[in-house]
Amino acid sequence: MGVILGNKEYFKDVKEIKYEGIDSNNPLAYRFYDKDRVVLGKKMSEHFKFAVAYWHSFVNLGNDPFGSGTKVFPWASSPDVMQRSYDKMDAAFEFISKLGLDYFCFHDFDLVEEADSFNESEKRLSKIVDYGKEKINSSNIKVLWGTANLFSNPRYMNGAATNPNFDVVSYAGAQVKNALDATIELGGENYVFWGGREGYMSLINTDMKKELDNLARFLHIAKDYGRSNGFKGWYFIEPKPMEPSKHQYDFDAATVVGFLEHYGLNKDFKLNIEVNHATLASHTFDHELQVAANAGMLGSIDANRGDYQNGWDTDQFPNNIYEIVEALIVINRAGGLQGGGINFDAKTRRNSTDLKDLFYSHIGGIDLFARALLVTEKIFNESDFLKLFSERYASFEKGEGNLFTNNKLSLNDLYNYAKKIDEPKMISGRQEYLENLINRFIF
Ligand code: XLS
Ligand code: NI
Ligand code: NI
């Protein structure tokens, strides 16, 4: 498709990023990501469906609790709010096309700044959606998912769908309606709910049961609205245990799966698993993926990484090959992601102030996943990894073990069987052997 420019070129000193192979020392090239290369039966681009996160890359200027923004974005300089929004979209399409990617993800008020009144915000959103539609129709770039920002505005300080005040709940509903409409108009493949303020700070003032019931009711009517307006994609819930709330209701994958099943939302919703949210919940990334996969709900991924020393969502770009290989083993054994892809919910550091840093960070993340996929393919095809895995459970495939698997044994049957056999053999889990095996293929 080539590079997609608006009126102006924002990243002038960067050309299209190409695959140059492992020997390349060009920092603005892929060494592993060869989008059409078939690995484990699918093109790399189909495995991943990489997406750029609008908010981290084109909106946030690097402010933190101790200081204001550091980044100077040339697309953010027009005095006119709509012009700023068109320029930002031009920059986004230029960036995504130069990376050779196909997708982006957005919140409603990433596309355009929220206004002082609901009506004005709605007008702005519909203008930028029209503009986005044109850009999408004249390119290969698509929306992996859209969402509504139900956490930044002060009105949501006590929650959005779980707010104790119905007026705020309805306001959140109005915003989700517009965000869903925008996602549908832009051909979005999925829609995300991340409940940053859906939780509480203290139980002293919180009716948790009522808030959870309201959250489920809210998700049901949002889902029904989308369905009756032609939205065919998946709805995703993105678990996170805390931050900004002390307790967030969508704590982790297991909590969300239980919630969706309890409230009858499991037919339409899947999970969007974020690396740094997994680690904040004291889990590993692959654990969260596996929990989602067990429930048939492994939908999408927000790729990033946390920090071993800091206890918050640092949203750094991924760079840990071992962690991503472990993740791809789970994803590929589960048959891939359902509907989703790999969204880089990651930001360059506050002191990474060159426009080129946006390229380095994405190239690094993309190449890491590609390399991890090649490693996973080797582990599956050139080692006894999968065989060892199934051998570990072989006793459930034959004899009494098989009867147990088929629900044919009672507790008395276990008793009688155990009395017949000798003390069970100690069978090693061979964790170190397997760790070495994975490391052997990380080239
Ligand atoms: C924040 C979340 C957010 C969601 C989208 O921690 O990861 O970025 O992905 O609202
Ligand atoms: Ni996220
Ligand atoms: Ni996050």
Separation of CA 311 and ligand 2 centre (Å):
16
Q: What are phi and psi of 133, to 5 degrees?
A: -60, -45
| Structural tokens at position 426 | 């100690």
Answer yes or no: do 210 and 247 share one domain. Answer: yes
How far does the centroid of ligand 3 lie from the alpha carbon of residue 274, in Å? 7
Same domain, 332 and 416: no
Q: What is the pLDDT of residue 358?
A: 98
Q: Which atom of ligand 1 is nearest to the CA of 272?
A: 9
Domain tally for the chain? Answer: 2
Query: 277: domain CATH number?
Result: 3.20.20.150
Distance 194 CA to ligand 1 centre (A): 6
Question: pLDDT tens digit string along 90-149?
Answer: 999 999 999 999 999 999 999 999 999 999 999 999 999 999 999 999 999 999 999 999
Ligand 1 within 6 A of CB of 313: yes
The residue to which tokens 């080539």 are assigned: 2
Q: Is 274 in the pocket of ligand 1 (CB under 6 A)?
A: yes
Does ligand 1 have an atom closer than 6 angstroms to the CB of 347? Answer: no
pLDDT at 267: 98
Q: Are residues 117 and 102 in the same domain?
A: yes
Task: For residues 295 and 401, state if they share a domain.
Answer: no
How far, in whole angstroms, is CA 94 from its chain's centroid? 22
Distance, in Å, from the CA atom of 346 to the CA atom of 51, rounded to the nearest integer, reads 11
Residue 27 lies in a domain: no
- pLDDT score of 1 more than 80: no
End position of a domain, from candidates 382, 399, 434: 382
Average pLDDT over residues 396-416: 98
* Mean pLDDT over each residue of the chain, to the nearest integer: 98
Is residue 20 scored above 90 in pLDDT? yes
Ligand nearest to the Cα of 54, by number: 1
Same domain, 100 and 178: yes
Residues 288 and 339 in one domain: yes
| pLDDT computed for residue 60 by the predictor | 97
Rounded mean pLDDT, 398-414? 98
Domain of residue 429: give its range.
387-442
Is there a domain that residue 21 lies in? no
Could you tell me if 391 and 247 lie in one domain? no
Q: Can you read off the two tokens belonging to residue 65?
A: 């609790």
**From the CB of 369, is ligand 1 less than 6 Å away?**
no
Instruction: Give the strand pairing for 298-303 and 342-344.
Output: parallel
Quote the pLDDT of residue 311: 86
User: Percentage of residues in the chain with pLDDT exceeding 70?
Assistant: 100
Q: pLDDT digit string (tens) for 194-211?
A: 999 999 999 999 999 999
- Is the CB–ligand 1 distance for residue 110 below 6 Å? no
Asked if residues 25 and 65 have their Cβ atoms less than 8 Å apart, the reply is: no
Q: Atom of ligand 1 at shortest distance to CA of 149?
A: 10
Q: What is the pLDDT of residues 287-306, one digit of tens each?
A: 999 999 999 999 999 999 99
Helices (H), 321-430: 321-333, 355-382, 385-391, 399-405, 411-420
Q: pLDDT band for 416, please (50, 70, 90 cuts).
A: very high
Q: Is residue 164 part of a domain?
A: yes
Over residues 414-421, the mean pLDDT reads 97
* CB of residue 198 inside a 6 A radius of ligand 1: no
Considering the domain boundaries, does residue 173 fall inside one? Answer: yes
Q: Where is the domain boundary, 355, 382, 409?
A: 382
Quick one: 304 and 424 in the same domain? no
What is the pLDDT averaged over residues 63-79? 97
**Could you give the 3-state DSSP secondary structure of residue 358?**
helix
Note whether 42 and 83 are same-domain residues.
yes
How confident is the model over 160-202, as pLDDT tens digits? 999 999 999 999 999 999 999 999 999 999 999 999 999 999 9
**Does residue 167 contact residue 155 with C-beta atoms inside 8 Å?**
no
Q: 162 with 243, same domain?
A: yes
Interval 321-352: pLDDT, tens? 999 999 999 999 999 999 999 999 999 999 99
If you take atom 10 of ligand 1, which residue's CA is the nearest one?
194
Residue 244, both tokens: 């900004």
Among the three residues 382, 413, 433, which one is the final residue of a domain in this structure? 382
Return the best residue to mutate from 55, 104, 193, 194 for the ligand 1 pocket (most ligand atoms within 8 A of CB). 194
Q: What amino acid positions are annotated as catalytic residues?
A: 107, 110
